[in-house]
Amino acid sequence: MTKWNYGVFFLNFYHVGQQEPSLTMSNALETLRIIDEDTSIYDVVAFSEHHIDKSYNDETKLAPFVSLGKQIHVLATSPETVVKAAKYGMPLLFKWDDSQQKRIELLNHYQAAAAKFNVDIAGVRHRLMLFVNVNDNPTQAKAELSIYLEDYLSYTQAETSIDEIINSNAAGNFDTCLHHVAEMAQGLNNKVDFLFCFESMKDQENKKSLMINFDKRVINYRKEHNLN
């Protein structure tokens, strides 16, 4: 496995009205346990209190910096945010709960702004956080991801439905998930690397082998499209 294309990202899931982490966090920790000997390949997303513009308490603040290993990204939350990121030539971190269309629109804003500010972004690689649940039974894959997200949607009172989020991520059999990831990469002009999250998968026994095989197939996709 290689480090460029995916890692583990954690969300602070809590049951509504409780202070204890939900089962989803326990499942994430279990994933790290079963791949303990390979944890050096993973980047864990760390959100900073420092924002690209405005103060933390300002309601009009732009997105925070996000550290991925030694790299700093800007969370792609709005056109204003990505324009500011483009001005400084900083890479974006696209959100897992955005629609693919919104991600494409934000990338277009970024590229247009870079051209306006005459910033060379030829070597800039963005990241996209993406949930992946691989199962021979696509219905079960989507059901597992749905259950995994229930705490988040309840806690945040998000307007986005679970079905919309699932459609913006990858849940289904192996080939369907790969095809979906390839479509997302092409829609974003092959300018993104992926930060996958497999934590919704209940099949702990086969999770590691699925992650390795999925990784290899994505590597082949990059080679075929001269992205290495």
The pTM score is 0.77
Each residue's pLDDT, cut to its tens digit, for the chain (228 residues) gives 333 344 455 444 433 344 444 454 455 555 555 554 444 434 444 444 445 554 444 444 556 677 666 778 888 988 988 998 999 999 998 988 899 999 999 999 999 999 999 999 999 999 888 889 999 999 999 999 998 887 667 666 667 788 888 999 999 999 999 999 889 989 999 898 888 888 788 887 787 788 778 877 877 877 787 765
> How does 104-143 read in b/e, with b if 16+ C-beta sit within 10 Å?
bebbebbbebbeeeeeebeebebbbbbbbbbbeeeebbbb
| Token pair listed for 25 | 């966090």
- Go through the domains of the chain in sequence order and give each one's CATH number: 6-51+62-221 (3.20.20.30)
